Chains A and B, each alone.
Chain A
Amino acid sequence: MNRPSSIFSWLRVPLVLVLAAGLLLTGCQQEKTIKIGYVTEQTGVEAYIGQATVPALQDYIDEVNAAGGVGGYKLQLVAYDTRSEVTDAVSVTKRLIEQDRVTAVIGPSWSAAAIPMAEIADTNKVPIIATTASNVNVTVDEKGELNPFMFRVCFIDPYQGFALADYAYNELGKRKVAFLTDVASPYSVGIQRYFAEHFVELGGEVVAEEGYQTGDTEFRAQLAKVKDSGADVLVAPAYTYRDAGLIGQQMNALGLTITVMGADGWFVDDLLSMAGKELEGAYLTNGVSTDDPAFAPFNAAFEKKHNVKANIYTYYTLDAMYAIKYALDQAVQKVGSPDPVAVRDALENMKDVQVFTSKMTMEPDTHNPHNKPILIMTIKDSKWEIVKTFIPGQ
């Protein structure tokens, strides 16, 4: 037992020196870079989200760095894959905050992961901006208390459910609704709930409530029941467009021809090639459209450079990144360093800040963007078409 320790004893001094030097060096590096974490899906069923967002973030960060960075700091992106699993989202968030020491985190895209991540943000006092997680309880917990370090750049589910119900009842004259909901997704369940509430309030009736589990591909059993229920509109607030596409195809196979409605989870161009024909005349709500001519140059350049089409996840993720860039500028000006708490304060007080898609104001008491407009869109000739712009509270 004595011999090995004596061998190591002469190693001790150089070892300590090397470690100390290492610490010093990392210290130097940390002074010059600000790490931005990104929690996304690079593999798994939702890999298309990561594939269309990571290059966009990297491009923007390269641009900022080329222009001198933020107050002398260079930005650095640290993106981790969640494989679309909540457990992975939680563990990579911890890794980003505890090991990589990021200043802020972007993501995730879905509410089931964002809710546990909010707790990590609050405990560690590092701000997280969710991109498309639209469940109410992402930023405000069940008791109505604000998660001080959790933000989002998308609108929340009640607005989508409310707008859809309003449109279905008042403009389309629908009276009997059937739901086909992903019961494992707070997003999907939330939209169903708010749709049902408002629809019944208006005088409509819920005639069928069918569910499925995330990842299911077979919906005919449920659709056969919907057909049997006599509903005149089917609401399928799928989180992923695959579900919407398969539901459209299988409705067609069953000869079910009632109007279908969905939400922004549907809005990926691939849905049109997957089931544009079957979903002709379907309606959905959405925050922003990839068909907007204002984004055409960006879309073209992005697709050319990365060989991937930009989708709405690209836009929302960039919105979050722009907000962080703004908050970093503010923090560096105010306290002289990119302190995560100062970044949080700046995010909370954002007012009319130009982000990628629009100007954004953060509601300090909910951490939701203020009055984001909702587009009501339809699918016509296998293309998206905007039919109405809905502004909450108006």
Chain B
Amino acid sequence: MELFFQQIVSGISIGAVYSLLAVGYALVYSVYNFTNWAFDAFMAFGAFMAFYAISLFFMPFWAAALISIVLTIVLSVGSERLAYRPLRLRKAPRLFMMISAMGANLMIVNLLNLIFGGSFRRFPVDAAKPFFIGNVSIGRMDLLAGAISFAILALLWWFLYRTKPGLGVRASSIDIMTASLMGVNNDAVAFIIFAVTGALSSVAGVFYGIKYAVFPYMGLVTIKAMIASIVGGLGSLPGAVVGSLILGVLETLVAGYISSTYRDLFSFLFLVIILLFFPNGLMGKSGDEKL
């Protein structure tokens, strides 16, 4: 039983990191109907910025995280200006935006590799000793990561449902053309969405870096967030969170009880089964309001 609880705790802590990224995918997809493959790079970039803010400039953790968020927002918004907006304005097919995103991703990741080198770095914060309930260990950093992740997601929910710019984003997610005819500023919506997703990927990168290591290709994990966001229903925020937690727990249980070799096989199988029965994902809506 202890082993089971340990696996569940590990699974939830993995799911919490997935959920930050999955929400980013959901947000971009809900409005622009394309998958922003560049998250990968934003996440690694965010982790590197926080890493160097601490190790080179000896900043306290919160300041480094803040700097990383700001810089990643700049990168995210900048990439929107350079790589997506020109395509959007020319009404290019969505596929082109995805390819443009992949290009941006490759470029940024390889630049990180070139500038900082490919080695694996330990994030320079002391991950405090875990505490134990019985024999089940719970990481303090995992708890913090989980708490902050969910706090950020709650804040995002508040922003989308309780503020006027949030209303604009939701309107755009239903129909971006109509929304702009009704006076919603398309460019402002794009700014908000990419700023928010930049911030989310930076936070995810920092926590992932603390939990594992900082290296240019750390963003490969975003494929899991992508699965989670599809399972939850592409474009649905609560769906992204639920999908992430389910996926995190499923992965640890499969690795723990069946075979770690088949973990990814199960992840993708799970995705296929969900899509067979829920073509729009668990909480996805086919029609009007997506967020």
A interface residues with partner B (beta carbon < 8 Å): 43-48, 51, 183, 210-213, 215-218, 220-222, 224-225, 228, 241-242, 245-246, 249, 253-255, 268, 270, 273-275, 308
List 18 additional contacts besides A45-B215, A218-B10; criterion CB under 8 Å.
A43-B110, A44-B217, A48-B119, A183-B261, A212-B255, A212-B261, A216-B263, A217-B218, A218-B212, A221-B11, A221-B254, A224-B3, A224-B6, A224-B7, A228-B3, A242-B120, A275-B122, A308-B117
Q: Is the CB of A245 within 8 A of B130?
A: no
* B7: chain A residues within 8 A (beta carbon): 221, 224
* B256: chain A residues within 8 A (beta carbon): 221-222, 224-225
Q: Can you list 29 A-B contacts with CB-CB less than 8 angstroms, sorted by A residue number?
A: A43-B110, A45-B118, A48-B118, A48-B119, A51-B117, A51-B118, A210-B260, A211-B260, A211-B261, A212-B260, A213-B261, A213-B264, A216-B263, A217-B212, A217-B213, A218-B251, A218-B255, A221-B260, A225-B3, A241-B120, A245-B120, A246-B213, A249-B212, A253-B127, A253-B137, A254-B6, A255-B137, A273-B121, A308-B117
* A43: chain B residues within 8 A (beta carbon): 110, 113, 118
Residue of A nearest to B252 (CB): A221
Q: Is the CB of A254 within 8 A of B137?
A: yes
The answer to whether A255 and B132 touch (CB under 8 A), given A215-B220, A222-B256, is: yes
B interface residues with partner A (beta carbon < 8 Å): 2-3, 6-7, 10-11, 14, 110, 113, 117-122, 127, 130, 132, 135, 137, 139, 212-213, 215-218, 220-221, 251-256, 259-261, 263-264
* B119: chain A residues within 8 A (beta carbon): 48, 268, 270
Q: How many angstroms between the C-alpha atoms of A219 and B108 in the bound complex? A: 28
Residue of A nearest to B122 (CB): A274
State how many angstroms separate the Cβ of B11 from the closest Cβ of chain A.
Answer: 8
The answer to whether A211 and B259 touch (CB under 8 A), given A44-B217, A220-B252, A228-B3, is: yes
* B253: chain A residues within 8 A (beta carbon): 221
State how many angstroms separate the Cβ of A273 from the closest Cβ of chain B.
Answer: 6
Residue of A nearest to B6 (CB): A224
Say what secondary structure dominates the interface of chain A.
Answer: helix
3 closest residue pairs by CB, A with B: A47-B118, A221-B255, A221-B256
Q: How many angstroms between the C-alpha atoms of A282 and B217 in the bound complex? A: 27
The answer to whether A48 and B117 touch (CB under 8 A), given A210-B260, A242-B215, is: yes
Q: Is the CB of A253 within 8 A of B139?
A: yes
The answer to whether A47 and B212 touch (CB under 8 A), given A211-B261, A228-B3, is: no
State how many angstroms separate the Cβ of A212 from the closest Cβ of chain B.
Answer: 5
The answer to whether A47 and B117 touch (CB under 8 A), given A211-B259, A220-B252, A254-B137, is: yes
State how many angstroms separate the Cβ of B177 from the closest Cβ of chain A.
Answer: 40
Q: How many angstroms between the C-alpha atoms of A212 and B261 in the bound complex? A: 5
Q: Is the CB of A222 within 8 A of B255?
A: yes
Q: How many angstroms between the C-alpha atoms of A270 and B119 in the bound complex? A: 7
Q: Is the CB of A217 within 8 A of B221?
A: yes
Q: How many angstroms between the C-alpha atoms of A211 and B252 in the bound complex? A: 13
State how many angstroms separate the Cβ of A213 from the closest Cβ of chain B.
Answer: 7
State how many angstroms separate the Cβ of B134 from the closest Cβ of chain A.
Answer: 11
Residue of B nearest to A254 (CB): B137
State how many angstroms separate the Cβ of B245 from the closest Cβ of chain A.
Answer: 15
Residue of A nearest to B5 (CB): A224
Q: How many angstroms between the C-alpha atoms of A13 and B164 in the bound complex? A: 74
Residue of A nearest to B17 (CB): A218
Q: Is the CB of B130 within 8 A of A255?
A: yes
Residue of A nearest to B216 (CB): A47
Q: Is the CB of A224 within 8 A of B10?
A: yes
* A44: chain B residues within 8 A (beta carbon): 118, 217
State how many angstroms separate the Cβ of B66 from the closest Cβ of chain A.
Answer: 25
Name the one of A45, A46, A213, A270 contacting B263, with C-beta atoms under 8 angstroms: A213
The answer to whether A274 and B121 touch (CB under 8 A), given A246-B212, A253-B130, is: yes
State how many angstroms separate the Cβ of A103 from the closest Cβ of chain B.
Answer: 29
Task: Give the interface centre of B7, B14, B261, B264 by most chain A CB atoms within 10 Å.
Answer: B261
